[in-house]
Amino acid sequence: MGDNAQTTFLDEVAALPACDKINQCIQCGVCSGSCTTAMHWEYPPRKVIAMVRSGLKDELLKSNSIWFCVSCYLCTTRCPLDIKPASIVHGLESIALKEGYKPPTTTTTMYRTFSESIVNNGRIYEFGFMFKYYLQTNPLAALKMLPTALKLLVHRRLPLTPKRVKGKADLRIIIDKLSAGVGK
Amino acid sequence: MRYYAYYPGCSMEATGLPVEKSIKAIAKPLDLEFIELEDWTCCGSSPFAGVDKSKAIGITARTLAQAEKTGLDLVTPCSSCYTILQEANDLLKEDHKLAERVREALSAIGLSYNGTVKVRHIVEVLFNDVGPAGLAAKVVRPLTGLKAACYAGCQQVRPSYGFDDSEYPDWLDQMAQSLGAEPVNFPLKARCCGSSLVISESDVALDLIHRLLQNAQDNGAQCIVSTTCPLCFTALDVYQPVVNGMFKKKFNLPVLAITQMIAIALGLDIKASALDGNVVSPQKLLKPFLTSKPQADKAETPA
Ligand code: SF4
Ligand code: SF4
Ligand code: SF4
Ligand code: SF4
């Protein structure tokens, strides 16, 4: 990777919503020390930020890091410089998905099926989304979930048909409009 | 009567149904009216933001625009929706380029948003607009001696939007106490349950849920009083048997949403608290309270 490519990755990230302060990070490590799931990340949050700034795009986006973020926002409330590491992490996820990276996790598929469910139904249709997710990843794992699904059914907490909302047509239009043109 | 625009969020129509029922039931006795937004759509949650943040904010903006038309505060019981709505609301004010693109997208569906909506969490409404004293005044079935670990979870208090303490919140504790219960020390009360990974990385999420349950039990809790967030509530309740299987534990900690607890303490009909929707049954633990006679002086006169 040349100098050019390096600048591009940082710029690409800094241009995402709520990611513009990435350059001011002082690498204090409060985010990594606070992170709920840091023990599972190949590179914890502070390193993720350092890697973006060093242009190590492939190494970072091929790793399992970022996909373990549970959006607990401990990093974000504790960061002394208001860098918003959680926003950066979710921004990186969108770059990885858009550019077809294949990190070692099925969370990518979960995100995709979840988002499709929103677009197709206007609201999340939990049963349909989970069904699709398992079908696309590991149908056998669905068996392990069966007792839980049954409990939800018995307690009438898992409707088997999606709600029909008219607003879903609106969502399509909004998404189309925001697909065209500037920004990523 | 106080009026609010109400946004339940998708999970309230499924896994969060017991919480939703209890919210509907306690509103009137507390002089609150939650008017559900018509034909609302998903808030554009974090998985969607991980796919495309700008589009996610566009989706969120539809809800904000709908709410603005009502002129009321926008209230949600889902902590995840709360964070997403708040963040979008801020970003649409700060990021002018993004705001411009969203404005165009909204105009294509005949809506506009001027940034005037105040987004609120229902727990914050209960705490600030009704208040522990307001609740206490209406209690006819005090939950005396019930030891409760009060769980706020993460997104209710983080990133902080002026809501309670972001590290060791106590608004739920104060409300539980006003209902007669005895909040126990619960160091992990604002730690994450990992719910967003419970499907795709279930071991990671179950490990976090296990820690929360263990911490509550070690501190002497007989039950967990949870925020209204359908995701937090489901993680602790529905996945408790799964945690037991995985970690060879015997947790039997009923999880009551604060609104279910309020319904019981107000002496409402048993259906109001929707306890039959809870996977970890609270019936045995609550039996003494459910069968006790409501304190006559404050009891509502039957219709
Ligand atoms: S806490 Fe903030 S400043 Fe410190 S390393 Fe993390 S992002 Fe950088
Ligand atoms: S929001 Fe994500 S990155 Fe930040 S501390 Fe929580 S899990 Fe870690
Ligand atoms: S946070 Fe989740 S449940 Fe709540 S509206 Fe958004 S997508 Fe639906
Ligand atoms: S505690 Fe769990 S469900 Fe609740 S807001 Fe945090 S991650 Fe979401």
| B160 and B114 both lie in a single domain | no
Decide which of A41, A72, A98 is a domain's last residue.
Answer: A98
Assess if residue A184 is contained within a domain.
Answer: no
The answer to whether the bond into B288 is cis (omega within 30° of 0) is no
Note whether residue A140 is domain-resident: yes
Last residue of a domain, one of A50, A68, A98: A98
Give, as one character, the DSSP assignment of residue B168.
Answer: S
What is residue A65's predicted lDDT score, i.e. its pLDDT?
A: 94
pLDDT in tens, A17-26: 899 999 999 9
DSSP letter at B251 equals -
B176 inside domain = yes
| pLDDT band per the 50, 70, 90 thresholds, residue B303 | very low
Task: Please tell me the predicted confidence (pLDDT) of residue B133.
Answer: 97
What are the percentages of helix, strand and coil residues in chain A, rounded to 5? 60, 0, 40
Q: Beta strand pairing status for B32-36 and B2-6? A: parallel
- Banded pLDDT at B43 (limits 50, 70, 90): confident
Q: Same domain for A60 and A134?
A: no
The rounded Cα A156 to chain-centroid distance in angstroms is 30
Question: Which residue did the predictor score with more confidence, B52 or B250?
Answer: B250
* A123 and A71, same domain (yes or no): no
- Domain containing A16 — which CATH number? 1.10.1060.10
Residues A115 and A68 occupy one common structural domain: no
Q: Is residue B146 part of a domain?
A: yes
Residue with token string 């669905």: A142
| Residue B16 reports pLDDT greater than 90 | yes
Q: Give bridge partners of residue B120 from the DSSP assignment.
A: B75
Q: Mean pLDDT over all residues of chain A?
A: 87
Query: Has residue B295 got a pLDDT over 80?
Result: no
Q: Please tell me the pTM assigned to this model.
A: 0.92
Structure confidence at residue A7 (pLDDT): 59
User: A166 — contact with chain B (CB < 8 Å)?
Assistant: yes
Considering the domain architecture, whether residues B155 and B289 belong to the same structural domain is answered as yes
Structure tokens at B301: 């006169």
Query: Quick one: pLDDT at residue A183?
Result: 43
Tell me which chain A residue has its CA closest to the CA of residue B167.
A74
Using CB atoms and an 8 Å cut-off, which of residues 56-85 of chain A contact chain B? Answer: 67-68, 70-74, 76-77, 84
Instruction: With respect to residue B303, please indicate whether it lies within any of the assigned structural domains.
Output: no
Same domain, B41 and B97: yes
Candidates B203, B207, B281, B273; CA nearest to B237 is B281
Domain range spanning residue A50?
A: 4-98
Number of structural domains in chain B: 2
- CA B88 and chain centroid, separation: 20
Residues A66 and A15 in one domain: yes
In Å, what is the CA distance from B41 to each residue of A52, A113, B10, B64? 34, 17, 8, 11
Least confident piece of the model among B197-201, B215-219, B245-249, B264-268: B197-201
pLDDT tens-place string over residues A125-143: 777 778 787 778 888 777 7
CA distances from B179 to A76, B88, B128, B166, B264 (A): 34, 35, 16, 24, 9
Atom of ligand 1 nearest to the CA of A32: 6
Residue A82: list chain B partners with CB under 8 A.
none
Atom of ligand 2 nearest to the CA of A35: 5
User: Count of H helices and E strands in chain B?
Assistant: 13, 8
Q: Residues 194 to 253 of B: which have CB under 8 A from any A CB?
A: 194-197, 199-201, 204-205, 208, 234, 238-239, 241-242
- A159 lies in the same domain as A86: no
Q: In this predicted complex, what is the ipTM?
A: 0.90
Task: Give the pLDDT confidence of B278-287 residue by residue, as tens digits.
Answer: 999 999 999 9
Q: Let me know if residue B294 belongs to a domain.
A: yes
At A109, the amino acid letter reads T
Residues A55 and A139 occupy one common structural domain: no
Among the bound ligands, the one closest to the CA of B155: 4
Q: What is the pLDDT of residues B251-270, one digit of tens each?
A: 999 999 999 999 999 999 88
Q: How far is A6 from chain B (nearest CA, A)?
A: 22
Contact indicator for B196, A71 with CB cutoff of 8 Å: yes
Q: Whole domain around residue B231: which residue ranges?
A: 131-298
> In sequence order, what DSSP letters do the residues of A28-43 get, joined into one string?
--HHHHH-TTGGG-SS
Query: Looking at the structure, do residues B218 and B290 belong to the same domain, yes or no?
Result: yes
- Same domain for A92 and A133, yes or no, is no
How many Cβ atoms are within 10 Å of A180's Cβ, its own excluded?
A: 9
pLDDT for res A182:
47
Position B126 in a domain:
no
- Chosen domain end from A98, A121, A151: A98
Structure letter (DSSP) for residue B272:
G
B149 and B112 share one domain: no
Average pLDDT over residues B52-81: 95
Domain count, chain A: 2
- Please report whether residue B33 resides in a domain: yes
Single-letter code of the amino acid located at A118: I
DSSP classification of residue B121:
E
Taking alpha carbons only, the member of B219, B108, B106, B141 closest to residue B173 is B219
Same-domain status, A147 and A74: no
Q: Which residues contact B56 (CB under 8 A, 6 or more apart)?
A: B44, B45, B48, B49, B84, B88
**Residue A4 confidence (pLDDT):** 53
Per-residue pLDDT, averaged over A160-179, amounts to 86
pLDDT at A168 over 90: no
Lowest mean pLDDT among A62-66, A71-75, A148-152, B295-299: B295-299
B112/B174 same-domain check? no
Residues A81 and A22 in one domain: yes
Residue B297, pLDDT above cutoff 70: no
User: What are the pLDDT digits (tens) for B120-139?
Assistant: 999 999 999 999 999 999 99
Do B94 and B217 share a structural domain? no
- CATH assignment of the domain containing B276: 3.40.50.11810
As a whole number of angstroms, the distance between CA B289 and CA B267 comes to 9
Residue with tokens 């399992």: A64
The reply to whether B99 touches chain A by the CB within 8 Å rule is no
Q: What residues pair up with B6 in beta bridges, in sequence order?
A: B36, B75
| β-strands B147-151, B119-121 pairing | unpaired
Q: How confident is the model at residue A92 (pLDDT cuts 50, 70, 90)?
A: very high
Q: Looking at B84, B99, B121, which one is the last position of a domain? A: B121
Virtual torsion, Cα B136, B138, B141, B145, nearest 10 deg: -10
Q: Who contacts B289 (Cβ-Cβ below 8 Å, separation ≥6)? A: B141, B143, B146, B264
With beta carbons under 8 A apart, name residues in chain A contacting B13. Answer: 123, 159, 163
Average pLDDT over chain B reads: 93
On whether both B29 and B171 belong to a single domain, the answer is no
**A9 and A79 share one domain:** yes
- Chain B residue numbers touching A87 (CB-CB < 8 A): 53
Claim to verify: residue A8 and residue A91 sit in the same structural domain: yes
- Is the domain of A11 the same as that of A87? yes
Residues B144 and B259 in one domain: yes
Judged against a pLDDT cut of 60, whether residue B27 lies above it is answered with yes
3-state SS assignment for residue B240: helix
In a domain, A166, yes or no: yes
Would you say residue A58 lies in a domain?
Answer: yes
Cα–Cα dist B122/A170, whole Å: 27
Q: Are residues B164 and B291 in the same domain?
A: yes
Q: Last residue of some domain: B91, B121, B151?
A: B121
Ligand nearest to the CA of A31: 1
Is the domain of B137 the same as that of B102?
Answer: no
Last residue of a domain, one of B121, B156, B186: B121
Residue A138 lies in a domain: yes
Amino acid in the structure at residue B193 = C
